[in-house]
């Protein structure tokens, strides 16, 4: 089932991003509802590794809004920001006495929607 987006809203997705969902969500919670300019400034100075892929997805959403919908980037607000769990890469580490220790390298899918504020 396909979801419809409002006419003044642009989406961007980052899929199979290496990193845990909880660590990405703590950054997304900080920028949700902010303007594009404020979110970029916040992401630049946050000390988390997940800010780099989030910045890429945010810039992609703004480029989609500018190119496809003709919206001004200075007026855009982050209307939706979410992270869902992706598939885990399963790796094994050798342990004592012939045992193997499973390591799950997590991935996540990042979705960001930007919209022009309504009057």
* Residue 100 to residue 92: CA distance in whole angstroms: 6
SS3 label, residue 35 = strand
- Residue positions counted in the chain: 119
* Residue 84 to residue 21: CA distance in whole angstroms: 6
* Residue 69 to residue 80: CA distance in whole angstroms: 17
* Residue 10 to residue 44: CA distance in whole angstroms: 22
Q: How much is the pLDDT for 42? A: 96
Place of tokens 């300019």: 37
Task: From first to last of the 119 residues of the chain, give the pLDDT tens digit.
Answer: 555 567 789 999 999 999 999 999 999 999 999 999 999 999 999 999 999 999 999 999 999 999 999 999 999 999 999 999 999 999 999 999 999 999 999 999 999 999 998 76
Q: How much is the pLDDT for 5? A: 65
- What six digits make up the tokens of 44? 């630049």
**Residue 76 belongs to what H/E stretch?**
none
Q: Which structural domains are found in the chain, ordered by start?
A: 9-115 (3.90.470.10)
């Amino acid at each position: 089932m396909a979801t419809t987006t409002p006419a003044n809203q642009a989406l961007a997705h980052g899929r199979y991003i290496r990193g845990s969902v909880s660590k990405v969500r703590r950054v997304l919670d900080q920028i949700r509802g902010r303007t594009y300019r404020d979110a970029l400034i916040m992401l630049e100075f946050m000390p988390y590794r997940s800010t780099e892929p989030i910045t890429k997805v945010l810039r992609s959403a703004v480029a989609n809004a500018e190119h496809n919908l003709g919206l001004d980037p200075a007026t855009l607000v982050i209307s939706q920001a979410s992270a869902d769990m992706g598939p885990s890469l399963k790796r094994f580490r050798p342990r004592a006495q012939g045992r193997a220790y499973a390591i799950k390298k997590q991935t996540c899918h990042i979705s960001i929607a930007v919209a022009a504020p309504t009057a």
